[in-house]
């Protein structure tokens, strides 16, 4: 809830200056775009659990999908090209 003074009432009921949320957002975006993982962002922002951080700043992590997708694509391509099967090694071969 935003008060006429511009202050915001946080989830805990404390009154926080409205400008703090803008500063926190800038700090968080710098951390995320700098490659800091969610656990470290959570600790830096003082969130109790990482879920709060993810729910609050999820839109800041959109580029993380690209490298994740690339890693999965590379792993699948490797398996297709080599015939590697989990638990059996190479297709028709012995277990690793």
Pair 38, 26: CB distance under 8 Å: no
Q: Which residues on neighbouring strands pair with residue 85, listed in sequence order?
A: 89
What's residue 20's pLDDT? 79
Instruction: Specify the residue for token string 């028709």.
Output: 92
Task: State pLDDT tens for residues 75-96.
Answer: 788 777 877 766 666 555 444 4
Strand (E) positions, 11-54?
A: 15-16
Task: State pLDDT tens for residues 5-62.
Answer: 555 555 566 676 777 778 888 888 899 888 888 899 999 988 889 888 888 888 887 6
The model's pTM is 0.50
């Amino acid at each position: 809830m935003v008060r006429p003074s511009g202050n915001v009432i946080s989830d805990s009921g404390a009154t926080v200056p409205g400008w703090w949320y803008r500063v926190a957002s800038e700090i968080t975006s710098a951390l995320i775009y700098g490659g800091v993982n969610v656990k470290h962002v959570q600790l830096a922002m003082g969130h109790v659990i990482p879920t709060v951080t993810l729910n609050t700043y999820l839109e800041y992590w959109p580029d993380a999908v690209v490298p994740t997708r690339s890693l999965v694509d590379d792993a699948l391509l490797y398996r297709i090209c080599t015939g590697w099967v989990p638990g059996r090694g190479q297709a028709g071969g012995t277990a690793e």
